[in-house]
Amino acid sequence: MIAVANQKGGVGKSTTAVNVGASLAESGKRVLVVDLDPQGNASTGLGIDHTARIATTYQVIVSGTDIRAAMVPTAVGGLWVVPSTIDLAGAEIELVSQFSREGRLARALDPIREDFDFILLDCPPSLGLLTVNALTAAEELIVPIQCEYYALEGLGQLLKNVRLVQQNVNPRLRLTGIVMTMFDSRTRLADQVVSEVRAYFGPRVYDVVIPRSVRLAEAPGFGRPITVYDPTSRGAVAYRRLAEEVAARDPELFLGFGDLGDVASGTQGTGAAPVAPAAPVAPQEAGEVHPSEAFFGMGDRGQAEARRTWDGGAGTEPEGGIE
Ligand SMILES: Nc1ncnc2c1ncn2[C@@H]1O[C@H](COP(=O)(O)OP(=O)(O)OP(=O)(O)O)[C@@H](O)[C@H]1O
Ligand SMILES: [Mg+2]
C-alpha cells in the first residue's frame, strides 16, 4: 500500500496516483486507487462521474461503510477506484472527536488488502487527518516534487510528520520514493532542481523523471489515464517506467531516514531550490511524543482550529466533538 503525498498543491500527486495505477494495471497487476482528496481529481481522472459516486471515501472513513461497497471498476482492466466527493472536506473536523481517528482508513482497508497487488492513496494537499490516515495505512510513501523553484519547500514538515507517524502508529512506513514531475528540458533550472534533489535524497529518487507534457494535463479532462488517452506519448512512456521502478523497489532498503539530515541544511548551495525555513527535527525516541501532539500539531489550519477548542490534557481524548 502506497501513499502519494506532499502537502504542497499541484505537484502531480493525483496525476502520479492515476497513471502509476493505470500502468501497473496494464502490466497485469490488480490495483486500487483510493481518492483521499475532497477535490476528487483522481476519481475524475479515472472517468468516474460525480453522479456515480454513491458510496465514497467519506462514508468509508467517517461512517464505517464497507469499502467494497465504494469500490468501482474503471475503464482500465484490473484498475479500481474508491472515489471521493466534496463531503470529504468535512471529514477532517468530524474525525477529530472519533476514537483512534488516525487508524480509520487502515482498518477500512484491512479486509481487501490481499485482493490487490497495489493500493495507491491519493492524498490532499495538506498534512491533516486524511493524510495522517494514509500514512498510518501505508507501508510506502511516494512524494512527487515539481521541478521548479521552491521544490523542497515544506518537505521538512512532511518528513517530520512521517517520523511522528512511524514513532506512534505505523513503524512499517517507509519513504520509498521521490518522483520528479513536470520536468521542462528547455530550462536549466529544472536540471538544477533534479540534481539538488538527487544529491539530497540519493537512491530514493526514481531514475525516470516525468516530463511536463500537455497530453498529461489534457488526459483527466477525458477521464482517461495517459496510458489510454495517448499510449505512446512521452508522459505515458515515463509513467510506465515509473510504475516498473515502483514495482521493483524493495521498501526494506529504505528503513527510517536516519541517512537524511535536515532538509533545510542539506539542500542549500546553488540556490536553485530554496527550502522551507523549517525547524530542524530532533530525532525522538519511540513513545516520546504523545499521539495528540502527533496528530494535532500538524500545521494544518483545521487541526489547529480543532486543537484550540479542546483543552487536551495529557492522555485524554477530546469528549463529544468540538464546538
Ligand atoms: N507532467 C505534467 N505535465 C503537465 N501537466 C501536468 C503534469 N503533471 C500534472 N499536470 C497538471 O498539473 C495540475 C496539477 O497536477 P495534479 O492534480 O496531479 O497535482 P496534485 O499534487 O494532485 O494537486 P493537488 O494538490 O491540488 O491535489 C493538473 O492540472 C495536472 O493535469
Ligand atoms: Mg491531487
Per DSSP, the residues of 265-300 read HHS-SSSSS----PPPPPP--TT-S-HHHHHH-SS-
Task: Answer yes or no: is the C-beta of 13 below 6 A from any ligand 1 atom.
Answer: yes
pLDDT band at 303 (very low <50, low <70, confident <90, very high): very low
Q: Choose the residue to mutate in 15, 18, 227 for probing ligand 1, maximizing ligand atoms within 8 Å of C-beta.
A: 15
Amino acid at site 97 = S
Gyration radius from the chain CA atoms: 19
Protein residue with least CA distance to atom 14, ligand 1: 10
Say how many Å lie between the CA of residue 216 and the centre of ligand 1.
Answer: 8
* Torsions phi, psi for 150 (to 5 deg): 60, 25
Segment among 89-93, 114-118, 243-247, 306-310 with least mean pLDDT:
306-310
Task: Answer yes or no: is the C-beta of 222 below 6 A from any ligand 1 atom.
Answer: no
Q: Specify the ligand 1 atom closest to the Cα of 181.
A: 1
Reported residue count of the chain is 323
**C-beta neighbour count of 308 within 10 angstroms:** 10
Distances (CA, A) of 35 to 72, 122, 258, 293, 306: 12, 5, 31, 26, 24
CB-based contacts of 23, cutoff 8 Å, min separation 6: 225, 227, 239, 240, 242, 243, 244
Say how many Å lie between the CA of residue 44 and the centre of ligand 2.
Answer: 11
CA 57 – CA 85 distance, rounded (Å):
8
Protein residue with least CA distance to atom 13, ligand 1: 10
Q: What is the pLDDT of residues 268-293, one digit of tens each?
A: 333 333 333 333 333 333 333 333 33
Amino acid at site 280 = P
Q: Specify the ligand 1 atom closest to the Cα of 124.
A: 27
pTM for this predicted structure = 0.83
pLDDT band at 52 (very low <50, low <70, confident <90, very high): confident
Q: Where are the alpha helices (DSSP H) in 111-259?
A: 129-137, 155-168, 188-201, 214-218, 226-229, 234-248
CA 258 – CA 146 distance, rounded (Å):
24
Protein residue with least CA distance to atom 16, ligand 1: 12
Give all domains of the chain, ordered by start, each with its CATH number. 2-308 (3.40.50.300)
Distances (CA, A) of 208 to 11, 213, 233, 236: 16, 15, 15, 12
Task: Answer yes or no: is the C-beta of 177 below 6 A from any ligand 1 atom.
Answer: no
DSSP state, 176? E
Mean pLDDT over all residues of the chain?
82
Q: Choose the residue to mutate in 11, 14, 187 for probing ligand 1, maximizing ligand atoms within 8 Å of C-beta.
A: 14
Protein residue with least CA distance to atom 8, ligand 1: 12
CB-based contacts of 154, cutoff 8 Å, min separation 6: 6, 7, 8, 276, 278
Q: Specify the ligand 1 atom closest to the Cα of 235.
A: 1
Protein residue with least CA distance to atom 31, ligand 1: 217
Say how many Å lie between the CA of residue 282 and the centre of ligand 2.
Answer: 30
Q: What is the pLDDT of residues 96-123, one digit of tens each?
A: 887 789 999 999 999 999 999 999 999 9
Please report the pLDDT score of residue 98 as a whole number.
79
Please report the pLDDT score of residue 154 as a whole number.
83
pLDDT band at 263 (very low <50, low <70, confident <90, very high): low
**What's the number of CA atoms in the CB half-sphere (13 Å) around residue 216?**
24
Query: Which set of grid coordinates corresponds to residue 146?
Result: 515539481
Say how many Å lie between the CA of residue 53 and the centre of ligand 1.
Answer: 22
Protein residue with least CA distance to atom 25, ligand 1: 9
CB-based contacts of 304, cutoff 8 Å, min separation 6: 296
Please report the pLDDT score of residue 306 as a whole number.
33
CB-based contacts of 110, cutoff 8 Å, min separation 6: none
* Residue 308: pLDDT over 50: no
